[in-house]
Amino acid sequence: MVLPKVLVVMGVSGSGKTTVGRLLAERLGWHFQEGDALHPPENVAKMSAGTPLSDTDRTPWLRKIAARIDDWRGKGDSGVVTCSALKRAYRDIVVGDRLDVVLVHLKGSRELIGERMAARQGHFMPTALLDSQFATLEEPAPELAIVVDISGTPFQIVEEITQRLAERKGLTAVGQRR
């Protein structure tokens, strides 16, 4: 099995991608890229105004994320990047046939994520767009992603992800052989 070089932490807005992704990168000693930071200003303005992005809006952003992934891979580096990756077509751009890139799907109920979004401050994505995110979401098959329930704390979620990575890689702990 190819060992992952890059993890794409995916899920609807408010699922904890940034918090979990950053903690996961720190835990693994890997690079971290907040996918939202790669959005062009027009996309941020559109979402801030409460308008969902179209596939046309998203495509250049997804290609930037894929380019960041390929940059890490080309340098032999490992990284964690966040990206909603709601549709299979989006994941085809970001992950494609890269066998060393693994999806981590942060999954939670509409109610839990809505509560979390309502409590956060300073984020451009309004809670009003959450329903459109769930409507757009095409969940990846469990064999294609590490699916993690987000009801635990960020540290518990990171622990579960690292354990699941270890199981996938045949290791007892990330970086240690059985």
Chain segment 79-94, per-residue pLDDT in tens: 999 999 999 999 999 9
- Whether the pLDDT of residue 123 is over 70: the answer is no
pLDDT at 47: 80
Q: How far is CA 105 from CA 36, 43, 124, 137, 148, in A?
A: 16, 23, 22, 11, 6
Residue 119: its pLDDT value, please? 63
Q: Is the pLDDT of residue 1 over 60?
A: no
Spell out the residues 6+ positions from residue 119 whose beta carbon is closer than 8 angstroms to its own.
none
Residue-level pLDDT at 71: 97
Average pLDDT of the chain is: 87
Q: Are 113 and 12 in contact (CB under 8 A)?
A: yes
Using pLDDT thresholds of 50, 70 and 90, give the confidence band for residue 172: very low
What average pLDDT does the segment 34-44 reach?
92
Whole-angstrom Cα distance, residue 78 to residue 154?
A: 21
Instruction: Write down all domains in the chain, each with its CATH number in brackets.
Output: 6-177 (3.40.50.300)
51 or 90, greater pLDDT: 90
Q: Please, which residues have CB within 8 angstroms of residue 57's CB and are 6 or more apart in sequence?
A: 42, 43, 46
Sheet holding 6-10: strands in order across?
A: 31-33, 79-82, 6-10, 101-107, 145-149
CB 16 within 8 A of CB 154: yes
